[in-house]
Amino acid sequence: MKFAVSYSTPYYGVDPDKLMAYAQHAEDCGFESLYLPEHIVLYPGAMVGRFELPPSLPYFDPLDCLSFVAAATRRILLGTGVLLLPYHHPVVLAKRLATIDVLSKGRMRLLTVGLGALPGEARAVGVDFSTRGRRADEAIDVMRLLWAGGEDGVSFAGEFFTFDNLCQFPKPYGVTHLPIHIGGSSRAAARRAGRRGDGYFPGGALDPNERAIQMDLARSTAVEAGRSPETLEYTRSGSIDMTVEQVEAFAAQGVTHIVVGATATEPDRQREEMSAFAQRFALLEHLPS
């Protein structure tokens, strides 16, 4: 089991010193990775499910933020939960991700992408909300093609993106492509994970039966696509006070990564919560030597 910690700027605030200290302490505690969420814009009345998002919530750009974190840390992996993939041009995004991966010496390895749930956010960036699933599928294919391509260039002809003989360097650090995990709370997201993802990170509002159905669907779709379901990683959100028994129950369901977040907003208390979690699960003892 791998453990990650999240940093929510809408909840913790946007003080760069607090963010840096949080990330450094997470690394010192032995957490594998740090995750950040994304919203590009909000607006009055924006609803996610039954919850209205206050339009003044301060969301950092997650990739700029992770680049900042990478410069202040040495080991911790960098993740998003989730990056709204249809709202980014994949040619530009592939370059940004490879740049962060090279500058961090191979730590941009837990990219989790989703479709977004706010129609107004899609309109703001010129994306037809109804096409965002197909657009995301194409974007994944485009990025992997660019990362793997050589000096002769690569070409792509799709519904949303078309280009001929493009070369994009530098490549990700020591790999042919960066892992892309799929986030979401729908069976369509589970199928996308099976067809194209390196992992699945289902939303936290699913009941246990639907959660099991979706993970089974991701694995069976992987088989249908000629991919190995055993390589599909399974990420779940957890709580900073979760018990060993709760983690063991997650492990029995095939979970490979758990993402937790401090409940406190005050830095000293955040450090106490992370330290207690790290001690409870002996995180430092499981770091690679």
Average of pLDDT values for 16-43? 98
pLDDT at 178 over 80: yes
Indicate the pTM of the whole model. 0.97
Residues 205-256 have pLDDT tens digits of 899 999 999 999 999 999 999 999 999 999 999 999 999 999 999 999 999 9
Q: Which two tokens stand for residue 108?
A: 């941009």
pLDDT at 288 over 80: no
Residues 132-163 have pLDDT tens digits of 999 999 999 999 999 999 999 999 999 999 99
What is the Cα gyration radius of the chain?
19
Contacts of 151 (CB under 8 A, 6+ apart): 167
CB-neighbour burial class of residue 208 (10 A; exposed 0-12, middle 13-18, buried 19+): exposed
Q: What is the pLDDT of residue 38?
A: 98
**Averaged pLDDT of the chain:** 97
pLDDT at 49 over 90: no
pLDDT at 111 over 80: yes
- Three-state secondary structure along 214-283? HHHHHHHHHHHCCCCHHHCEEEEECCCCCCHHHHHHHHHCCCCEEEECCCCCCHHHHHHHHHHHHHHCCH
HSE on the CB side for 230, CA within 13 Å?
A: 0
CA distances from 218 to 88, 120, 225, 286 (A): 24, 29, 11, 29
Q: Report d(CA 31, CA 275) in Å as an integer.
A: 10
Q: What is the pLDDT of residue 205?
A: 83
Residue 289 binned pLDDT confidence (cut-offs 50, 70, 90):
low
Q: What is the pLDDT of residue 55?
A: 97
Average of pLDDT values for 170-188? 97
Residues 188-201 have pLDDT tens digits of 999 999 999 999 99
